[in-house]
């Protein structure tokens, strides 16, 4: 698929099928406009016929808007697989949350994305497509980009689809592409330690975010099966190495689950784990998933938890919840649609 290729590779492809260089440029521009091939006016029919097979065929099939302005999009791929991505409006601009896999195989007990397991990985171009389509939906173009920030926090585990995610980061941050600064990109992982080290080798300037959600390996393993493979200690060591190598502060996501991980003892353990480590904790009350039994801690309790963390010297904030009325949390909407069909 052509969206998997970078600028030079697309020009090479055009050359190989016998097109002059300016046609290669046009094909590149067409892809980055987020338009379908039919909508492209400056390519002759004969050329469209040749490239049709490889031209991206993804599209937005549904679009929901929340009262708070958050938008959720359903993107459908060639093979009819669907993923969701979420657009959030902040003071500084739009942040898009993209999915990296169709489904997920990590099995976290509170998450909707993993309910049906992993269907397949997304290719680099398929992840890119989410950004191109939403940018276009906002009236943007390659040269007039509307999206300022990206978070790889939709469905899927990015480090479980390593090569495609790396290529996507290269494509999206390229000056030839949408030119989104790596500093404005966050990658969230449940803690695949070897993946963190592989990422560190890439010398990207992206922010690393860890979904921690528990303060002991025993408790973590009850809600996140991945905890059986990698200990909290190993994860934090990898984060310290990441921070040292890249100079970038590491973030931790901590989803508060009522009666599971929200006690003062948890605060004490967190402060011990993070002692001397300049990181930041994002506290999020669990978004209750219909199919799951776990309940979220109240917002009021979440603020208390954060105050408690701060009093222990840990930098922490309660994450704003957005788009709750449109099933904003990962994978919720896809599940609903899968059920309807
Ligand atoms: N697999 C990656 C990225 C996708 S999940 C990861 O684990 O980080 C993005 C974030 O949403 C993670 O922190 C995840 O734990 C959290 N999350 C999943 N389901 C949630 C829910 N129901 N309520 C609140 N946060 C949730």
User: pLDDT tens for residues 321-336?
Assistant: 767 666 656 567 677 7
Q: Is there a single domain that holds both residue 181 and residue 254?
A: yes
Residue range 238-268, pLDDT digits in tens: 999 999 999 999 999 999 999 999 999 999 9
How many domains is the chain built from?
2
Q: Is there a single domain that holds both residue 174 and residue 272?
A: yes
Place of tokens 């921070």: 243
CA nearest to 258, candidates 224, 306, 298: 298
Q: Is there a single domain that holds both residue 116 and residue 40?
A: no
The boundaries of the domain holding residue 4 are 1-57
- Which of 114, 153, 324 has the most ligand 1 atoms within 8 A of CB, as the residue to mutate? 153
Dist. CA 4 → ligand 1 center (Å): 26
**Single residue among 57, 82, 101 that ends a domain in this structure:** 57
Q: Is there a single domain that holds both residue 26 and residue 171?
A: no
Q: Is there a single domain that holds both residue 161 and residue 17?
A: no
Residue range 159-173, pLDDT digits in tens: 999 999 999 999 999
Q: Is there a single domain that holds both residue 43 and residue 87?
A: no
User: What CATH number corresponds to the domain at position 6?
Assistant: 1.10.150.530
User: What CATH number corresponds to the domain at position 222?
Assistant: 3.20.20.70
Q: Is there a single domain that holds both residue 70 and residue 16?
A: no
Dist. CA 309 → ligand 1 center (Å): 21
Q: Is there a single domain that holds both residue 40 and residue 26?
A: yes
Q: Is there a single domain that holds both residue 36 and residue 175?
A: no
pTM of the model: 0.95
Active-site residue (options: 97, 108, 279, 330): 330
Q: Is there a single domain that holds both residue 8 and residue 95?
A: no
Q: Which residue has the higher pLDDT, 294 or 165?
A: 165
- Which of 101, 188, 296, 323 has the most ligand 1 atoms within 8 A of CB, as the residue to mutate? 188
Which residues are near ligand 1 (CB < 6 Å)?
106, 108, 110-111, 153, 157, 188-190, 211, 253, 255, 284, 286-287, 289, 329-330
Dist. CA 133 → ligand 1 center (Å): 23
């Amino acid at each position: 698929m052509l969206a998997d290729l970078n600028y030079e590779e697309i020009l090479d492809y055009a050359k190989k099928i016998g097109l002059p260089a300016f046609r290669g440029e046009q094909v590149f521009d067409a892809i980055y406009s987020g338009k379908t091939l039919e909508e492209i006016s400056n390519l002759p029919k004969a050329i469209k016929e040749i490239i049709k097979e490889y031209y991206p065929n993804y599209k937005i099939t549904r679009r929901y808007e929340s009262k708070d302005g958050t938008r959720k999009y359903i993107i459908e791929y060639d093979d009819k697989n669907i993923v969701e991505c979420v657009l959030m409006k902040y003071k500084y601009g739009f942040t898009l949350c993209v999915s990296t896999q169709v489904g997920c195989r990590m099995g976290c007990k509170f998450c909707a994305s993993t309910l049906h397991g992993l269907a397949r990985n997304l290719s680099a171009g398929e992840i890119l497509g989410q950004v191109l389509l939403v940018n276009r939906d906002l009236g943007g173009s390659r040269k007039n980009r509307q999206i300022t920030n990206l978070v790889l926090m939709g469905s899927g585990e990015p480090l479980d689809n390593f090569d495609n995610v790396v290529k996507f980061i290269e494509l999206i941050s390229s000056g030839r592409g949408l030119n989104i600064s790596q500093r404005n990109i966050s990658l969230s992982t449940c803690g695949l330690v070897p993946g963190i080290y592989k990422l560190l080798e890439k010398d990207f300037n992206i922010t690393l975010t860890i979904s921690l959600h528990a303060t002991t390996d025993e408790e973590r393993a009850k809600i996140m099966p991945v905890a059986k493979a990698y200990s909290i200690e190993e994860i934090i060591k990898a984060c310290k190495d990441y921070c040292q190598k890249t100079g970038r502060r590491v973030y931790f996501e901590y989803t508060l689950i009522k009666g599971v991980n929200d006690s003062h003892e948890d605060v004490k353990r967190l402060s011990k784990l993070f002692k001397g480590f300049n990181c930041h904790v994002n506290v999020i009350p669990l978004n209750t998933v219909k199919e799951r039994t776990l309940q979220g801690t109240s917002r009021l309790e979440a603020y208390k938890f954060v105050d408690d963390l701060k009093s222990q010297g840990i930098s922490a904030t309660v994450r704003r919840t957005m788009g709750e009325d449109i099933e904003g949390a990962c994978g919720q909407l896809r599940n609903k649609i899968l059920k309807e069909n």
